[in-house]
Chain A
Amino acid sequence: MPLTHFQEQIKQALHEKRRLQIIGNQSKVALNHEHQALDMSGYAGITGYDPAELVVTVKAGTKISDLKQELSEHNQMLAFDTPDYGDSTIGGNYACGLSGPSQPFFGALRDFVLGIKMIDGQGQQLTFGGQMIKNVAGYDVARLLVGSKGLFGLVTEISLKVLPLMEEKTYSIEMGQADAIIKMNEMAGTALPISGCAYYQGKLYYRLIGVHPPQSAMPEDNYIWHKMNPFRPEISGKQKLWRVSVDSMHPPIHNTLLIDQVGARRWVVSENKPDVSHVDLWNLHEKTRRPSFDSHTKITDIKRGLKSVFDPYEIFY
């Protein structure tokens, strides 16, 4: 499918004063039928990949599973453990800024973004960043739009830094939650080659990469990380799943089912919103919500201003 198809659709929507909702495979957010869909799921494939350059360029509708498969054939990987909710696309996970257990050690999705191609709300094709690991020419729009939920423009292509695939081993230690939080942080301050550190069902799990000293902890199957990421617990009645981001040393929070990212991420199941600063409701059908620009703080003013830079006629819902 050529890019001009999307440009046409955007210009048509401008003309008809209609709104568009960008969708991929709808693994995270379903289509709101009040709006027209701008469907990226068919815009898939790797457009550039030279393993020695440690960079891959993909179309936004590419399934994460397909991308991982291609990279693993060259002994490489996406190092940010981005969760796959079932045919999730790289564009969708970029739009939501989703990273997993390895984030504290290797970085978040945005840390691996090197460049994007996009179409703005007036149908203009734009390129920001590129395929270079280091690039400080112009504002870092490629990283700015990570997490923007498709509200600023249509990101069509993404260049990502990739890393060598490394052998992983998982270990566990049984302990209480409060002790585990301290223990995790202590471990992360050592030279041990950790790539994941979580607390789940009474056990502290940690994952080591490459060659490392012998461990006295209990060996575990690496599969445990797939149970934690994406995290999809059974929820009943009025309970809700909350994704909570805190300082890694934050004390235990009530009703926590999983502690990930060395303590910086807590998954809480409760009726009421936990009382800390960075909390997202993680519904079964709508894992990420549109950012709201309704309040009148300076930060919201800036976000609203930036939205109008890229999408002045509010085409993108």
Chain B
Amino acid sequence: MNVVQELLHRLPRDQVIVDDEQKAPFECDGLSAYREKPLAVVLPANIEQVKQTLAICRKHSTPIITRGSGTGLSGGSLPLKNGVVLGLSKMSRILEIDPLARTAVVEPGVRNITISQEATPYNLYYAPDPSSQVACSIGGNVAENSGGVHCLKYGLTVHNVLAIKVITIDGEELVLDYRDDGVDLLALLNGSEGLLGVIVEIKVKLLPKPDASQLIMAAFEKVSDCANAVTNILKSGIIPAGLEMMDKFSIEAAEAFAHVGYPLEAAALLLCEVDGNQYQVEADTETVSRVLKENGAYMLKLSRNDEERIALWQGRKNAFPAVGRLSPDYYCMDGTIPRNQLAHVLDEIERMSKYYELKVANVFHAGDGNLHPLILYDAQIPGELKKTELFGAEILKLCIDVGGTITGEHGVGVEKLDSMCQQFSAPEIEIFHKIKRVFDPENLLNPGKAVPTLHRCAELGHMHVHNGQLPFAHLERF
């Protein structure tokens, strides 16, 4: 029996998809420019079936690509032609909510927003809120260490996960807990992009809902004024719950889409949310408003109630689809930069935009330095995707050059493999490969993702050079 026959034989028939048409939705994730048909898609309903699938695939040396909801933006769950997709969407039960201890234990296929919805009766919620939170799964969030608009104050996924249950490639069940002594394996698994194990259960922290939230919207005539305002808010001693900046093009796109009253003439728009108890929120609102005015905001708007606050966020939260309406395709970048480099980086992106003749909309998680330039392109025009990718890679190079990183929250996947060669030295990349081998010596879990081969870096020729030494001196050059 081959691997597909054995999967069909051993697992319930309706949980193994081999039909081409039915496999189609699994061909790609949110990075839809890359597509591949897997041998089969398995949708296990429980841990036993995960173990069975792993055992069968391992026996046949077949790669396994674990997948949640498929909303990832870096091709992390792109199938392999000779691989099996392990879709965890059927494992979607909330196993326990403990309101007093403020924890929830959930299966990996549970959608991010469902946890907060289920915790609402206890006045609790799960803090990380990626913009895809209505669809994305918590298992995928852990695999990518996802962020969201509130992570400056409330942290990323890694800060909100207390324990996970992982199945290793050899079928062992590990429980990794934040209280474990010695090395922090729980932190290692967060953001490991499905390369080290299959996460089958997650215990998350729940937080009390703040008593009050206030959104302050400020419009600026100059991008640099807006950037300074961000710096000075953080210097004033306030950590806003959200601090989001949009450039002129994003403002226009979002307003046309959501009609929330954004000022169309502004060069930059800042959305700052403060939350907590009523007393603190009042004090912080006053401070933030003063700092914004001092830094040249020509218009301030305070949300008068929760409906208005949520409405004003809608524009920002829909910035991606809003930009998407203006162009057949767009490519979303995810670099991070020190905030003091923002004005410089935006100038450079504008220069590149003219050079490549491609429009860019910039949305920026200003609080944590995470920049999302959206490059508009048309995949039907021959060569335009390639040009867009070059443009994107140049933006990431710029992020590294100013002291930032190539991905803040979307992960490396297949998309940023080349840029990894620029951010890390050969010995560092070798360490990553060795870590992978400790967990998965046969290289069956999501092989080829997240960490480039040294050969690939050498071929690209833009490996980051340490101490002036040429990397991979032992490898042949082409």
Contacts and interface: CB of A to CB of B under 8 A. Distances in A.
B223 to A, nearest CB: 17
A193 to B, nearest CB: 6
Interface centre among A108, A125, A189, A305 (most CB of B within 10 A): A189
A143 B435 CA distance: 14
Contact of A136 (B369, B409, B425, B466): B409
Interface string A207-224: 000111100000000000
Contact of A140 (B158, B336, B337, B428): B158
Contacts of B152: 133
A310 B431 contact: yes
A28 to B, nearest CB: 14
B407 A135 contact: yes
A50 interface: yes
Nearest to A182: B100
B280 A211 contact: yes
A137 B423 contact: yes
A192 B403 contact: no
Interface residues of A, number: 70
A149 interface: yes
B142 to A, nearest CB: 12
Contacts of B383: none
B183 interface: yes
Nearest to A129: B405
A128 B435 CA distance: 13
A257 to B, nearest CB: 20
B427 interface: yes
Contacts of A185: 100-102
Nearest to B205: A104
Interface string A274-303: 000010100000000001000000110011
Contacts of A120: 427, 431
Contacts of B211: 191
Contacts, number: 214
Interface residue SS majority, chain A: loop
B238 interface: yes
A186 B280 contact: no
B407 A164 contact: no
A134 interface: yes
B191 A130 contact: no
B238 A191 contact: no
Given A52-B339, A291-B182, A247 B451 contact: no
A189 B124 contact: yes
B279 A278 contact: no
B182 A107 contact: no
B466 A125 contact: yes
A146 B369 contact: no
B404 interface: yes
A178 to B, nearest CB: 13
A124 B282 CA distance: 52
Interface in B90-124: 98-102, 122-124
6 contacts: A54-B234, A128-B428, A139-B188, A145-B183, A148-B183, A192-B277
Interface of A: 50-54, 75, 97, 107-108, 110-111, 120, 124-128, 130-141, 143-149, 152, 163-166, 182, 185-186, 188-193, 210-213, 245, 247-249, 264, 278, 280, 291, 298-299, 302-303, 305-306, 309-310
Interface of B: 98-102, 122-124, 144-145, 147, 151-152, 155-156, 158-159, 168, 172, 174, 177-185, 187-188, 190-192, 208-211, 231-232, 234-235, 237-239, 276-280, 282-283, 336-340, 365, 367-370, 403-412, 416, 419-420, 423-425, 427-428, 431-432, 434-435, 438-439, 450-451, 466
Given A136-B412, A193-B280, A280-B181, 8 more contacts: A132-B404, A134-B151, A134-B405, A135-B336, A164-B237, A186-B100, A189-B208, A245-B179
